[in-house]
């Protein structure tokens, strides 16, 4: 107990430098934990974006390109898939269900996706969770629109509100389908995926709003009542989500689609495409983590530098301890304990800071970036990281402790000029 009292008194006497060192270490620990949690959140958000889908079929393109525009609404397809090919493959006995999607329009920066009500029944997310409506229902009328949770929250829409879809992904004054407004029929529960940032309409609605348009310009206005009675079968779509009767035949069906003679098609296995995506992203991911580790190491070195710098000023303090009977080992252990106390305080403060900011900023991350930040106290991985930081601080403190151990009473009482 006396040793701990001496340690606390010694730290208090140098409280300014100790606090600055502790804050530096705490910020570096917070940065490391934040980077790790954001990386895990990004990976989980990507991986949970789609579930229950065995294949994504589209016109010929790379696996990653198909994954990005069909699942994450990033980028645009080079070519479209013909409706005839979609119908032919949908009738294949190996396919249990298929859901077409059509991209190309937007609303105030959010992507608009044409699909069918089957999308809400078959396309899952997360751990095979079904899409649920926070309010309203699906696409019953031709000009119904279902909003993702993020769209409704950011734009302040509610049920039965009216909105206008823009032609293309950039809204301009002469590109809006303002003659055919949509009515909000439903709002989905938050999913933490790209679905939150999407407006869903029917495929027939996509066809209806583009009647009278050529080369991206509106040549004639449409009549909503007449269009409801018209035959609006699409001629082409962007892609289709496919579920199989037997998942063991997934690669067999994939090869059959890729070798289809009537049209150049690509069948993407989402899990394989995700793995390929992270093999590319993983390089940047490791770089960010390496930078965070380097900052932690520099903070530990700063702590040891602070201890070494104060050794010369504390020679008489150490000499008094020695004259009172303290052995060199006890004094060395005191320095080692001081380093561990500072390291523990930095780890604890950094962890508390991350816990507070993650709970405060979780909703903002989900709204703006679509990242679902997991709310947990401490994972095993984070615990091992904090223990490694404590161990590293203790190992680094051996240097000043060894210097003190080798010092003598005469050296402590010697006046240096």
pLDDT digits (tens, 9 = 90+) for 12-31: 777 787 788 888 888 888 88
For the chain, give the percent of residues with pLDDT over 90: 32
Matching residue, tokens 């579930």: 51
Q: What is the reported pLDDT for 219?
A: 46
- When divided into structural domains, the chain yields a total of 2
Q: What is the reported pLDDT for 399?
A: 75
Flag whether 275 is in a domain: no
Same domain, 138 and 240: yes
Matching residue, tokens 């990653």: 64
Please provide the average confidence, as pLDDT, over all residues in the chain: 82
Same domain, 310 and 226: no
Same domain, 9 and 105: no
Structure tokens at 18: 């100790």
pLDDT digits over 218-272, tens only?
545 667 777 777 778 889 999 999 999 998 899 999 999 999 988 999 999 998 8
Residue 352 or 369, more confident:
352
Structure tokens at 99: 């859901």
- Can you tell me the mean pLDDT for 32-49? 77
Flag whether 273 is in a domain: no
Flag whether 63 is in a domain: yes
Look at residue 152 and give its three-state secondary structure: helix
- Can you tell me the mean pLDDT for 140-164? 93
Residue-number span of the structural domain to which 68 is assigned: 55-268
Q: What is the reported pLDDT for 368?
A: 58
- Would you report the helix, strand and coil content of the chain in percent, each value rounded to 5? 55, 15, 30
Same domain, 400 and 305: yes
Cα 224 vs. chain centroid, distance in angstroms?
Answer: 40
Q: What is the reported pLDDT for 13?
A: 72
Least confident stretch, 64-68, 91-95, 174-178, 318-322? 174-178
CA distance 210 to 144: 16
Residue 53 or 286, more confident:
53
Same domain, 239 and 105: yes
Q: What is the reported pLDDT for 104?
A: 86
Q: What is the reported pLDDT for 405?
A: 66
Crossing angle of helices 398-406 and 380-396, rounded to 10°? 30
């Amino acid at each position: 107990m006396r040793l701990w009292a001496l340690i606390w008194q010694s730290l208090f006497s140098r409280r300014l430098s100790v606090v600055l060192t502790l804050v530096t270490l705490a910020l570096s620990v917070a940065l490391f934990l934040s980077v790790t949690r954001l990386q895990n959140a990004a990976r989980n958000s990507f991986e949970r974006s789609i579930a229950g889908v065995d294949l994504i079929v589209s016109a010929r393109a790379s696996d990653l390109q198909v994954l990005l525009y069909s699942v994450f609404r990033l980028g645009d397809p080079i070519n479209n898939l013909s409706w005839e090919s979609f119908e032919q493959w949908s009738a294949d006995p190996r396919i249990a269900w298929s859901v077409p999607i059509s991209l190309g329009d937007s609303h105030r920066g959010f992507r608009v996706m044409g699909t069918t009500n089957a999308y809400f029944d078959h396309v899952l997310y997360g751990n095979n969770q079904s899409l649920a409506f926070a309010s309203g229902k699906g696409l019953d009328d031709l000009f119904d629109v279902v909003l993702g949770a993020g769209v409704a929250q950011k734009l302040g829409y509610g049920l039965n509100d009216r909105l206008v879809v823009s032609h293309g992904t950039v809204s301009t004054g002469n590109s809006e389908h303002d003659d055919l407004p949509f009515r909000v029929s439903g709002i989905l529960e938050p999913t933490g995926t790209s679905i939150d940032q999407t407006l869903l309409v029917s495929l027939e609605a996509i066809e209806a709003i583009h009647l009278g348009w050529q080369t991206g310009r509106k040549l004639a206005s449409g009549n909503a009542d007449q269009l409801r009675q018209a035959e609006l079968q699409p001629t082409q779509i962007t892609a289709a989500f496919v579920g199989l009767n037997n998942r063991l035949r997934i690669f067999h069906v994939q090869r059959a689609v890729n070798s289809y003679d009537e049209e150049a098609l690509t069948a993407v296995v989402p899990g394989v495409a995700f793995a390929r995506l992270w093999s590319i992203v993983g390089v940047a991911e490791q770089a960010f983590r390496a930078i965070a580790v380097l900052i932690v190491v520099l903070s530990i070195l700063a702590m040891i530098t602070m201890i070494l710098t104060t050794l010369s000023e504390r020679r008489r303090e150490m000499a008094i301890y020695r004259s009172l009977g303290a052995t060199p080992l006890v004094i060395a252990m005191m320095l080692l304990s001081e380093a561990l106390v500072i390291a523990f305080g930095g780890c604890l403060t950094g962890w508390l800071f991350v816990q507070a900011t993650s709970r405060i900023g979780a909703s903002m991350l989900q709204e703006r970036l679509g990242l679902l930040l997991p709310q947990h106290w401490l994972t095993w991985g984070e615990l091992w990281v904090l223990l490694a930081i404590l161990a590293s601080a203790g190992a680094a403190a051996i240097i000043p402790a060894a210097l003190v151990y080798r010092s003598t009473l005469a050296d402590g009482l010697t006046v240096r000029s």
